[in-house]
Chain A
Amino acid sequence: MKKKVISAILVAAMMTGCLTACGADGGAKGKQTVSIFVFGNDQEQAIYTDMFKAFEEANNCTVEAQMCIKDDYNTTLTGMMTAKDLPDVFYMGPEAVSQYVANGYAMEITPVLDELGLSTDDLPQDILASYSIDGKLYGLPHDASVFAYAYNKDLFDAEGIPYPDPNKPYTYEEFVEICQKFTKDTDGDGEIDQWGMGAANPFMFYQYVWSNGASFLSDDYKTVTIDTPEFKDALQKYVDLTLKYGVTPTVEQDASLGVYQRWLAGQEAFYACGTWDVAAFMDKEVFPYEWDLCGYPTLSTGISTTWCGTVGYAVNASTKNKDLATKLAYFMSADPDGNRTLSGITTGASIQLPNLISMANGEFKDAIADGSLPFPNNTEVFFNYLNGSDGYAGKFMESTYTPNGEWIDIFFNSLDTVKNGSVTVDDYIAQMQPQMQEALDNAWESVQ
Chain B
Amino acid sequence: MSKRNEKYKMSTAARKENRYGLAFVTPPFIGFCLFMAFPIVFAFIASLTKWNGMNNMLDNFVGLRNYIKLFTDEKFWKVLLNTIIYMIGIPCGMILGVVIALGMNRKIRGIKVLRTMYYIPVISSLVAVSILWAWVFNYDYGLFNSIIKAVSGVHGPNWLGDEFWVKVSMIIFMTWKGLGTAIILYLSGLQSIPRDYYEAAKIDGASGWTLFKHITWPLVSPVTFYLLITGIIGGFQVFVEIVVMVPNGGLNYSAATVVFYLYEKAFTNNQMGYASAMAFVLAIIIFIVTAINFVGQNKWVKTID
| Given A404-B270, A416-B251, A446-B50, A14:B55 Cβ within 8 A | no
Chain A 86-103 against B: per-residue CB contact (8 Å), 1 yes, 0 no? 000000000000011011
Q: Decide if A443 touches B269 in the complex (CB within 8 Å).
A: yes
Interface 9-residue window, one of B111-119, B135-143, B214-222, B284-292: B135-143
- Which residues from B are CB-within-8-Å of A81? 53-54
Q: Decide if A413 touches B23 in the complex (CB within 8 Å).
A: no
The tally of residues in A whose CB lies under 8 Å from a CB in B reads 39
- Which residues from B are CB-within-8-Å of A78? 53-54, 267, 270, 272
> What's the minimum C-beta distance from A266 to chain B, rounded to whole angstroms?
17
Q: Is B237 an interface residue (CB 8 A)?
A: no
> What's the minimum C-beta distance from B25 to chain A, rounded to whole angstroms?
10
Q: Is A233 an interface residue (CB 8 A)?
A: no
Chain B 149-164 against A: per-residue CB contact (8 Å), 1 yes, 0 no? 0000000001011000
Count CB-based A-B contacts (< 8 Å): 93
Closest B residue, CB atoms, query A74: B267
Question: A413–B141 Cα gap in the complex (Å)?
Answer: 24
Q: Decide if A413 touches B249 in the complex (CB within 8 Å).
A: yes
* Residue from B34, B54, B268 whose CB has the most chain A CB atoms within 10 Å: B54
A15, A414, A442: the one within 8 Å of B27 (CB): A15
Q: Is A124 an interface residue (CB 8 A)?
A: no
Q: Is B239 an interface residue (CB 8 A)?
A: no
Chain B 181-209 against A: per-residue CB contact (8 Å), 1 yes, 0 no? 00000000000000000000000000000
Q: Decide if B158 touches A7 in the complex (CB within 8 Å).
A: no
Q: Decide if A413 touches B55 in the complex (CB within 8 Å).
A: no
Question: A406–B53 Cα gap in the complex (Å)?
Answer: 16
Question: A103–B50 Cα gap in the complex (Å)?
Answer: 14
Interface residues on B, range: 20 to 34
Q: Is A43 an interface residue (CB 8 A)?
A: no
Q: Is B26 an interface residue (CB 8 A)?
A: yes
Q: Decide if A11 touches B26 in the complex (CB within 8 Å).
A: yes
Chain A 390-406 against B: per-residue CB contact (8 Å), 1 yes, 0 no? 00000000000001111
Q: Decide if A446 touches B52 in the complex (CB within 8 Å).
A: yes
Q: Decide if B268 touches A406 in the complex (CB within 8 Å).
A: yes
B30, B248, B267, B272: the one within 8 Å of A18 (CB): B30
Q: Is A115 an interface residue (CB 8 A)?
A: no
* Residue from B27, B141, B264, B272 whose CB has the most chain A CB atoms within 10 Å: B27
Closest A residue, CB atoms, query B272: A78
Question: A100–B140 Cα gap in the complex (Å)?
Answer: 46
Question: A99–B158 Cα gap in the complex (Å)?
Answer: 42
Question: A445–B269 Cα gap in the complex (Å)?
Answer: 13
Q: Is B31 an interface residue (CB 8 A)?
A: yes
A residues bordering B, Cβ < 8 Å?
4, 7-8, 11, 14-15, 18, 74-75, 78, 81-82, 99-100, 102-103, 105, 251-257, 403-406, 409, 412-414, 416-417, 442-443, 445-447
**What are 22 A-to-B residue pairs whose CB atoms are below 8 Å?**
A4-B20, A11-B23, A11-B24, A14-B27, A18-B31, A74-B267, A78-B53, A78-B272, A100-B54, A103-B55, A252-B139, A252-B140, A252-B161, A254-B161, A255-B139, A256-B140, A412-B248, A413-B252, A413-B253, A417-B251, A417-B252, A446-B52
